[in-house]
Structure 1
Amino acid sequence: MRIGVPTEIKDNEYRVGLIPASVREYVSRGHQVRIQKGAGEGSGISDAEYHDSGAQILDNPRDIWENSDMIVKVKEPLPSEYDLMQPNQILYTYLHLAAVPELAQVLLEKKVSAVAYETIELADGRLPLLEPMSEVAGRMSIQVGARSLERSAGGKGVLLGGVPGVLRGKVVILGGGTVGTNAATMAVGMGADVTIFDVNLYRLRDLNEMFNNRIQTLYSNAENIAVAVRGADLVVGAVLLAGARAPNLVPRSLLKEMQPGSVVVDVAVDQGGCIETCKPTTHAHPTYVIDDIVHYCVANMPGAVPRTSTFALGNTTLRDGLAIAQRGIEVAVRSDSALAKGLNTYAGCVTHPAVAASLELEYTPALDAVGRP
């Protein structure tokens, strides 16, 4: 199979779809890999490293798209790339289609087989290709939140860890999954007063044990959230429903009750966000203020630490990418139930139930679309 890796063009996105070690794996199995010139520079990977791994280096992104059976990316294609996608091509990347219906329409029209990293789901509910970036984003949420609380950044001037004789900053984390757990790890390490919300009581018990009761866990309902958010210095939105839009847990009316200069960081913004006033921002312009509350809503947070993120992502995407390349998309999907859940569109059909529901489109089960064995 011909594998293509274009340079990412999202604002301040420096990650890249394949690392040299992954290129070697594809090439050793007889596949051709084409990398756009300079694609890895932002992650500290030179063209020479890719070349030495067996990749062909091409200057023009159009040459990558037009001469590849499968495109491996990090972020969803942007409008300027829509015309580059080829009919019946395989696209393997983060998609978050619930938030970009116009992209979904292009994928359907071109009958692209789109496999979304974020919806590949194991039998136990884990999302293995999302986890490493969720770990990065969770840890970064506290880092950027603490910085946004500084007075010079528009915040109220609170140090999360406090000092002896002064109250610690209050951090409220909505969601106890991978993002929330990593956010809590960083916040606790900084000495903050941390509260995590989740609807899964078993998960809350696990978190209590994990943090040795150094955090407060609360069941996620509107009343509990309202009380905690009103007194919070930093609120982190960390809710994920695979393939679906994030639920709105913090309405604007509640935001108005927070103290001026408080900060919200919505990690779920690429799925629509769980804080009503959140909208996607970029690393170049990461924050804005509504009702005196600082909003940090960068949709590709891990892109700020591309070296770490690229290698973490490369380690996790290789297995399924090789399965698709070796077997073809149809056999790979039929052979692996987790990968089948990653298939979002195929032959003009929406093949993930949550994506179809979010976009209000007809749903076709993945196995029905590719043909059952």
Structure 2
Amino acid sequence: MTSKSIANSLYGWVDERLGISEVAAFARHKTVPAHRYSFWYYWGGISLFLFLVQCFTGVLLLVYYRPGVDAFESVRQITFVMRFGWLIRSAHAWSANLMIFAIMVHMFSVFFMKAYRKPREFGWLSGMALLALATVFGFSGYLLPMDELSYFATKVGLQIPAAVPFIGPAIANILRGGPDVSEFTVQRFFALHVVVLPALFLPLLGFHLWLVQKHGNAIPPSEELKHPSERKSIPFMPAFLRKDLAMWLISLNVLALLASVFPWSLGKQYDALSPAPLGIHPEWYFMSPFEMLKVLGTILPGEAGEIAGLLLFTLGIALWLLIPFYDTRKDSGRRARTAHYFGIVAVVLLLTTTAIGYWTIR
């Protein structure tokens, strides 16, 4: 028996049980719309690639990381003692930020291409849930080194949930494991980061990817106006897949450049009794709500400003989540224009408050 016949027999045995030929046939017949906005289709794949990098580098870091009182020392050893430990840690940190950025770009491209309309409502809602989990991933992982910057930045970041009326202080105490950030907080954030969040994120990601395959890539309103015979498309395999993998390669090069040229720093070990250093602030993806709380806190007295800022931001998120149930018609009517202007206001407000937040801490 030749090697080719052995391979065919093995393939037939596996295919009979797993249906590989059905998946291959689906991939061969799947097409992707081709138009001047096709570039935005790649951002979902970029987000997925960066998440895979997170998983790979996170497992390597997990081998040496020790939560609790030894957290800082373990990160110091990873960074300065373990061979290429600094590179793995930098790649993990940079890919986390790039992943959240890519998901946000993907979200806004879906919004302005009206890809949330029927029958893709669940795709929009699951994508928003993935973005929320990604930010919690970032927040929980930021504290784990337990250096001075991460310690005080986490204290500042926990002011946001603590500002929620009635239940906010209890939520903050549960997250901290006590009245203040300590080694107990690290243990809770570590469990959240490596167990709870992956258990929520992975099935939700699988559901989201299944919806993308089920409904296909949405076309923007300008393409919907064309007759079906005038619309162009390319086969998923190998044309689009080849371009998608090329974007993965570009992302890997950007990540490698950032991780090697701008390695993620490690400050001195935290001291709860020392004053907070100047310039402490939450991560960039939390800067907008943090700045809203701060601005309204200066306008309204006491806790009223914080509550007003939190309610305003919560209202904005609720409207953003429910946009598929408002803009439902496939035309450029009043609701479509209102949704488009709402998206522009959201982008401008997000960028403006983030920029003001960074400018005021200089």
TM-score category of the 2 structures, normalised to the smaller one = under 0.3
* Higher Cα Rg, which structure: 2
Q: Where is the strand percentage greater, Structure 1 or Structure 2?
A: 1
Q: Where is the helix percentage greater, Structure 1 or Structure 2?
A: 2
TM-score (normalizing by structure 1): 0.25
